[in-house]
Structure 1
């Protein structure tokens, strides 16, 4: 793999060593090979790694196969991919409801396989959406950027906003749920609020519109627990309509859609915001008017 990265102004005066270690999370062993093989050049020249870079400097990186072994997965159908954004390192797509983000078995075909076919190479999962949930989801296009995107996710620097149609009328314009979430011992498919053994979870819920028996809300995740929005809303008496696990109110689909995703690009430091449409979500929503 070969990459060329132009240093943005906000990274000026950072040393090459710090770029590799702190910003780009290149493992120590691979950093050693970059140095000994002279596989890192700044403006075409090998330089001291303690030297600071300038805005506009061009860094060339060459990784051998043993540095980042490539995985191979079966390709799906490229025509099923609704691409919202892509560049050399990442792709953001609009996942339809009823499709898994990734398969549970090596030969199972899911969104990851379709995205890999669309890109023409194996891609990597950064985060996932439940099979019943639609909306924006991000994939890494190479193993170099994958740990960087994973850290952005862990540091809550990838912002995700959802629309949900919840049962009943929300009494507050905005509320923050902080109930801990754990596994349901009686149903392995489900999660529940577990104040003693659960993991910390924070969801900010904002009421957008009221219907006769439901509320359209915006949900913003500060953590990324499995079924987090579904469990928090259900626990507080506002289960998502159409949820096969947590609601008794049927709908043609789970009324949860990841409509917006934002992040700062790890190499260019540009702000990226995408919005995902869902005709099936809007169709059900209109039936409540």
Structure 2
């Protein structure tokens, strides 16, 4: 950027020996050699439910049974629908499983993407999930620290491994016990594939509707990304969104009604 003279301070070509002051305005000019132009097939913008949006990022409410991004050319997924809404390509910061609903973050340009990636690695983006799982817990709050690896017999599945694998940490808090299930809030310190599903199943408390780790299907997987919190990296604005899910609440409703009558 220095060689290309693509840095300006207060509208004037930057002299790199100058000291930048707090009130100065820096302008960085990017071209295709910095960030190659990316083309993305547009989906249906009417499927996008926006929770927050600014110049650099967008948070949307993903429905269950929708891919975050396609696995091959021609796949139309949430990223394509969000691109259609923004009328430009967007970039996945973190993903949600096909069956999982809730708040998900996208970068609107390639400049902010590595910044958001770093924030995610450094646990500066906080994600809280609600899950309805089998059985009851002895503790109201606890932490699951178990490494996760790939099941060599089934590449779709993840398993707990004693050695190797990826470090995985899930903070669990019981929100409401029902007669035979528990509604819990899970906050991730790491973001491994199927992390919450594998961790809860490893304790004998698999998530309802999880055909992969519980073996029983239902109307939907009872896992929902309820809250997402971060500080906007350029404005320092505190962002906290809450995502609602009609299908998740509908599945909970009979249990709440039985508890109320009881």
User: Which consecutive residues of structure 2, in runs of 5 or more, have no partner in the other structure?
Assistant: 257-262
- Whether the 8 Å contact between 1:102 and 1:111 is mirrored in structure 2 is yes
* Matches for 1:32-181 after TM superposition, within 5 Å: 34-181=1-148
Write the distance in 2 (CA, Å) between the matches of 1:160 and 1:225. Answer: 13
**Displacement, 1:249?**
4.4
Partner of 1:206: 173
Which of 207, 220, 224 pairs up with 2:191? 224
Secondary structure of the structure 2 residue equivalent to 1:288: helix
TM-score (structure 2 length as normaliser): 0.94
**Displacement, 1:194?**
0.5
Distance 1:243 1:69, change over 3 A: same
Which of 250, 253, 260 pairs up with 1:286? 253
For residues 217-256 of structure 1, give each alpha carbon's deviation from its aligned partner in whole angstroms, at most 9, with x where no partner exists. 0000000110000000000011000011011444310000
Partner of 2:260: none
CA RMSD after TM alignment:
1.3
Write the distance in 2 (CA, Å) between the matches of 1:56 and 1:171. Answer: 55
Partner of 1:274: 241
User: Which consecutive residues of structure 1, in runs of 5 or more, have no partner in the other structure?
Assistant: 1-33
Number of aligned pairs?
Answer: 256
For residues 117-141 of structure 1, give each alpha carbon's deviation from its aligned partner in whole angstroms, at most 9, with x where no partner exists. 0000111111100000001111111
**Displacement, 1:197?**
2.1
Deviates more, 1:90-99 or 1:57-66: 57-66
1:240 aligns with 2:202: no
**Displacement, 1:48?**
3.1
TM-score (structure 1 length as normaliser): 0.85
Write the distance in 1 (CA, Å) between the matches of 2:183 and 2:20. Answer: 49
